[in-house]
Structure 1
Amino acid sequence: MSALIDGIKGNRFAVLGRAGMDLFADPIGVKSEDADTFRADLGGSSANICAGLVKLGSQSSLITSIADDAIGRFCMNRLNHYGVDTSYIRVVGGEYRMSLAVYESTLEDFQNVIYRNGAVDFQVTEEDMDQVDYGKFTALISAGTVFAAEPSRSATFRAIDNARNAGLPVIFDIDYRPYSWPSPEVAADVLSRAGEASDLIVGNDEEFGFMAGGIERGFEKARELARKPGRIVIYKMGEKGAITLVDGEEIHTGIYPVTAVKPNGAGDSFMAGLLASIAAGHSLRDAVMRGSACASIVVSQPGCAPAMPTTPELNKFLASHPGPTAAP
């Protein structure tokens, strides 16, 4: 585990996956179909993780491709606004398009409409991955969606090989999105391969269950993956908390209850908070708890990237919150 923790403590993250635009209905409580106004900001799981890391004092670089159009330039501008390194982003012409998420800040019949037609982020190539200077980074992060289509799938496995050769640990957020995949069978096979190639795996009970062929077998799948010495597996269970599996130990942690206005963005913020906290010297248990606090902060506010906390905001939340729920 020391190589993994040392890599995270290096605090320079290369992140694979998509950037996109989020449009969220304004104000809080208004359904999308009733909205007169939408706010726009950065979206996409990997871009959100990047923004969350930088806001917590880490360095992050997004490795992806974006469209040569106004929305692509908007996303690039927002990445730069948040301080994310964009030097490994390739602009792609033609009819490929950025992801677009349209959602609302209300949990009642929550709607998140995703547009992924001709997704430009799937156009990342093995050549793109070979041009990355892996020596600039101390850890590689990948979200699961990059494996859903070619050439991105092969390119991501190439990046993992390149990272391994450079001595970087690999961090994997399962992030299963059925709409991106050709079939559940392909997804289960490819995501399992990605898990086997990773040093830190984060997912929820449904995602591990999906990889195992049934939600009732999800925790056993997490345990199976955690049997590799030095690997950390974090099994998230929503409101029930999380179980962190490492070297035969199970660390049970609760959550920080809040009044949520939306469900999305929690996983991205958890990942950023977890990694930034390990990098800052917190214990694994405390880092998981700080990641959980970040998730709670994000679901209690509109938007994803703009809702990611800074370190002072996270510390203020922890100091004022009555405390986490009991561990499962």
Structure 2
Amino acid sequence: MSALIDGIKGNRFAVLGRAGMDLFADPIGTKSEDADTFRADLGGSSANICAGLAKLGSQASLITSVSDDAVGRFCMNKLEYYGVDTSFIRVVGGEYRMSLAVYESRIDDFQNVIYRNGAVDFQVTEEDMDKVDYSSFSAIISAGTVFAAEPSRSATFRAFENARNATLPIIFDIDYRPYSWPSPEVAADVLSRAGEASDLIVGNDEEFGFMAGGVDKGFAKATELAEKPGRIVIYKMGEKGAVTLADGQEIHTGIYPIDAVKPNGAGDSFMAGLLASIATGHSLEDAVMRGSACASIVVSQPGCAPAMPTTSQLDAFLAAHPGPTR
């Protein structure tokens, strides 16, 4: 586990996966079909993780492809605004388009409409991955959606291989989104392969259950993955908190209850808070709790990337908020 922690403490992350545009109905509580106004900002799981890391003081580079159009340029501008390095992003012409999410700031009857047809982020190639200077990073992060289609799937496994050759730890957010995959069977096989190749695996009970063939088998799957020496597995259970499996130990942690205005963005913020906290010297248990606090902050505000906290905002939340559930 020391090599993994040391890599995270290097605080220089290469992040694989998509950027996209988020459109969310304004004001809070408005349903999309009733909205006169939508706010636009950066979206996409990997881009959100990058923005969260950068706002917490980490170095984050997104490795992806974007469309050669106004929406692609919007996403590039937003990435740079949040302090994310874009030097490894390739602009792709033609009919490929950015991912688009249209959602609401509401919990009851929450709707999130995802447009992923011809998604440009799936056009990342093995050649793109070979151009990355892995020696400039201390760890790589991948979200599961990059494995849903070719050539991105093969390219990401190539990046894993290159990272391993450069002795970089691999951090994997399962992030299973059924709409991206050709079939559940393909997804279960590919995501399991990615998990086996990773050093830190983060997922929720449904995602581990999916990989295992049933939600009731999810924790057993997480435990099995955690048996590899040096690997950390974080099994998230929503309002029931999380179990961190490392070196034969089970670390149980709660959550910070909050009045949520939406359900999405929590997982991306958790990952950013977890890694940035380990990088700045917090214990694994404290880092999980700080990640949980980041998740609570994000679901309490509209948007995803704009809701990611800075370090001072995270510290202020922890100082003012009652302790976590047990």
Interval containing the TM-score (normalised by the shorter chain): over 0.9
Residue 53 of structure 1 corresponds to 53
Q: Hey, what does 1:12 align to over in structure 2?
A: 12
The alpha carbon displacement at 1:247 in A equals: 1.0
- Separation in 2 of the partners of 1:108 and 1:239? 17
Cα distance, 1:30 vs. partner?
0.6
In 2, Cα distance between equivalents of 1:164 and 1:295? 30
- Counterpart residue number, 2:33: 33
Query: 1:215-226, aligned counterparts within 5 Å?
Result: 215-226=215-226
Aligned equivalents of 1:178 and 1:31: distance in 2?
Answer: 24
Counterpart secondary structure, 1:302: coil
Q: Equivalences for 1:195-234 in 2 at 5 Å?
A: 195-234=195-234
After superposition, where does 1:1-328 map in structure 2 within 5 Å?
1-326=1-326
Instruction: Tell me the distance in 2 between the aligned counterparts of 1:163 and 1:229.
Output: 18
Deviations 1:178-230 (A, max 9, x none): 00000000000000000000000000000000000000000000000000001
How many residues align? The count is 326
* Aligned AA (1:153): R
Q: Deviations over 1:65-104 (max 9, x none)?
A: 0000000000000000001000000000000000000000
Q: CA deviation at 1:314?
A: 0.1
Q: Which runs of 5+ in 1 are unaligned?
A: none
Q: Which runs of 4+ in 1 moved over 2 A?
A: none
- Structure 1 residue identity aligned to 2:38: F
1:244 is paired with a residue whose SS is strand
Supply the AA of the counterpart residue of 1:229: P
Provide the C-alpha distance between the structure 2 equivalents of 1:199 and 1:80, rounded to a whole number of angstroms.
29
TM-score, scaled relative to structure 2:
1.00
CA deviation string 1:286-328 (max 9, x = no partner): 00000000000000000000000000000000000011001xx
Measure the CA separation in 2 of the matches of 1:258 and 1:28: 16
For the residues of structure 1 that align with 2:250 and 2:209, how far apart are their CA atoms? 18
Secondary structure, aligned partner of 1:235: strand
**How many angstroms apart in 2 are the aligned matches of 1:310 and 1:203?**
24
Q: Distance in 1 between matches of 2:74 and 2:57?
A: 24
Over the residues paired in the alignment, what is the CA RMSD in angstroms?
A: 0.3
d(CA) in 2 for partners of 1:215 and 1:247? Answer: 24
Q: Which amino acid aligns with 1:211?
A: M
Q: SS at the partner of 1:309?
A: coil
Name the SS of the counterpart of 1:324 in structure 2.
Answer: coil
Q: Which amino acid aligns with 1:305?
A: A
Per the normalisation by structure 1, the TM-score is 0.99
Distance 1:124 1:305 in 2: 23
